[in-house]
Amino acid sequence: MPAKCKFCDRPAFIKLHYPRMYLCEEHFKEYFERKVRRTMERYKMLKPDERVLVAVSGGKDSAVAAYILKKLGYKVECLHINLGIGDYSEKGERYARRQCEKIGAPLHVVRVKELLGHGIGEVKTRRPTCSYCGLTKRYIFNKFAYDNGFDAVATGHNLDDEASFIFNNIMNWNTQYLAKQGPVTPAGFNGKLVKKVKPLYEVTEREVVAYALASGIEYEIEECPYARGATTLEWKEILNQMEEKRPGTKINFVKGYLRKRHLFEAELKEAELRECKVCGMPASGEVCSFCRFWGLKEPIDFRVKRQ
């Protein structure tokens, strides 16, 4: 006999492992949206009147984050960074455009190759590709948000992402990262470090996929070619096996970390920040990591001309 929804007689759309229950499509969407809303309230992520810049890649997580924030009534605009990784990046941009059209949110696009002369993966450097890609994306999201007066940057990090990040850094005892990780990173350095929030912090990747399907959200399935073989995927697989045996492992692990995060803060030695002499953004030395890596001699102005 087919499984039925816990709250009605309709056929089950999904079986949740934690909490254990079957839900139809309608009740799953209600459950998911309520869970995200409660997460945002619990961690005091956003005020109703704040302007939010959602970092959209074309993938499922950021698309769902933008969709729900818009549905909850926030003032949402989106930013897509085309990384210049051939067909993969072109597909990502096309999906990002479709996703923003679906929710009626303005989309801004920054193309790394046009902006900096090289796409990700084309730079001759000993630095790992994922490392300078992350540096580039973080800087552009923050600088774009600052230049255009946004109150917060929202990303699509989900529970699986957070659990694997914490697990990885505990295994390597990266205490500085462990001291700073969390659902909200407050604004700082006179507003030049814009607040970062993660609305999907307590929902699993499996739930995000199901919600995208139920909501008709199209997204890029292809994985970044430079992410293949990343250790993060190995940590995720280990945590998935543990979750399979003991449902609730991931959320309990992440919540336990948040309760004990203060233990790592004692070892956090923040470098005294100063203004980068090139762009004026926060830097630990005379020149920030972004300007130093890309060899910039003058700041990039991301201000958008409003009609």
* Tokens 């945590």 belong to residue: 239
Spatial separation of the C-alpha atoms in residues 82 and 88, rounded to whole Å = 9
59 vs 257: CA distance, rounded Å: 27
pLDDT digits (tens, 9 = 90+) for 142-196: 999 999 999 999 999 999 999 999 999 999 998 888 988 899 999 999 999 999 9
Distance CA 244, CA 249 (A): 9
- Residue 141's CB is within 10 A of a number of other CB atoms, namely 22
Cβ neighbours of residue 24 under 8 Å, at least 6 residues apart?
5, 7, 8, 10, 11, 12, 13
- Residues paired with residue 23 on neighbouring β-strands, in sequence order: 14
Mean local confidence (pLDDT), 255-279:
85
pLDDT of 121 = 93
- pLDDT value at position 265? 80
Domains parsed from the chain with CATH numbers: 36-220+229-270 (3.40.50.620)
pLDDT at 268 exceeding the cut of 70: no
Average pLDDT over the chain, rounded to whole? 94
Alpha helices, H only, 117-158: 129-147
Least confident piece of the model among 74-88, 254-268, 282-296: 254-268
Q: How confident is the model at residue 307 (pLDDT cuts 50, 70, 90)?
A: low
Q: Kindly state the percentage of the chain with pLDDT values over 70.
A: 97
- pLDDT tens for 65-106 read 999 999 999 999 999 999 999 999 999 999 999 999 999 999
Dump pLDDT digits (tens) for 35-67: 999 999 999 999 999 999 999 999 999 999 999
Q: Is the pLDDT of residue 292 over 90?
A: yes
Q: Residue 1: pLDDT band by 50, 70, 90 thresholds?
A: confident
Query: Band of the pLDDT at 267, cuts 50, 70, 90?
Result: low
pLDDT, tens digit, for every residue of 218-238?
999 998 998 876 677 888 999
